[in-house]
Structure 1
Amino acid sequence: MSRRTSRNARRVVLLAAIVLALILVAGASRWGVSDTRGDCPRGRALVADALGLDFPNPGLDSFLVETLEKAGYIVDYVNGTGVDLELYRRLTDYDVVILRVHGGKGEVKLPDGRVAVVNGLFTGLPWDDRYQELMWKWLAAKATPYHDPDKAYLAVLPGFFAKEMQGRFCPGSVVVVASCFSLYTYEIPVALAQRGLGMYIGWTGPVTVQEIDEGLRMLVDLVYNKGLNWTEAAIEVGKKLGTNEYNSTLYAVILSRQS
Structure 2
Amino acid sequence: MSRKKERDRTEEGKGGTRGPERAGRGGRLRRAAAVAAGLVLVAGLVAVALLAWNPGAGGSPSGPKTAAIVDQLNLTAPNPDFVTAATKLLEKGGYSVDYYSGEDVTVDFYRSLPERDYDFVVLRAHSGLYRGIGPGGDGESGDTLLALFTNEAYDQYKYFEDQDAGNIGKAFYREGGEELFAIGQGFVASSMRGRFDNTTIVMMGCDGLGSTRTAEAFIAKGAKAFVSWSQQVSASFTDAATERLLQKMLIEGLSTSDAVEQTAAEVGADPVYGAELRFLESGD
Alpha-carbon contact 2:74-2:101 (below 8 Å) kept: yes
Instruction: Note if 1:97 corresponds to 2:121.
Output: yes
The equivalences for 1:62-77 within 5 A come to 62-77=84-99
CA distance in 1, matches of 2:159, 2:67: 31
Match of 1:46? 68
| Higher mean C-alpha displacement, 80-89 vs 202-211 | 80-89
- What is residue 138 of structure 1 aligned with on the other side? 166
Task: Show structure 1 runs of 4+ deviating over 4 A.
Answer: 39-42, 108-111, 245-248
**Greater Rg over alpha carbons, structure:** 2
Preserved CA contact (<8 Å) 2:107 2:181: no
Code of the aligned partner of 2:80: P
Q: Which runs of 5+ in 2 are unaligned?
A: 1-60
What's the CA shift string for 1:197-254, capped at 9, x where partnerless?
Answer: 1111011211111111111111111222333222211111211222334665221010
Task: Give the secondary structure class of the aligned counterpart of 1:142.
Answer: strand
Q: Give the match's secondary structure for 2:247.
A: helix
Contact 2:200/2:225 (8 A) holds in 1:
yes
Length, aligned pairs only: 218
The one of the two structures with greater contact order (alpha-carbon pairs below 8 A, sep at least 6) is 1
Q: TM-score when scaled to structure 2? A: 0.69
1:40-95 Cα offsets, whole Å, 9 max, x none, are 68611111001111000011111112221222212111011201223222332111
Contact 1:103 1:182 in 2 (8 A): yes
Q: Which runs of 5+ in 1 are unaligned?
A: 1-38
Q: What percent identity do the matched residue pairs reach?
A: 26
| TM-aligned CA distance change 1:215 to 1:131, over 3 Å | farther
Partner of 2:256: 230
Asked if the contact 1:91/1:97 (under 8 Å) is kept, the reply is: no
Instruction: Please give the alpha-carbon distance, in whole angstroms, between the structure 2 residues aligned to 1:137 and 1:76.
Output: 31
1:234 & 1:195 partners in 2: Cα distance? 22
Letter of the aligned partner of 2:163 in structure 1? Answer: M
CA RMSD of aligned residues (A): 2.5
CA distance in 2 between counterparts of 1:74 and 1:91 reads 16
The equivalent of 2:58 in structure 1 is none
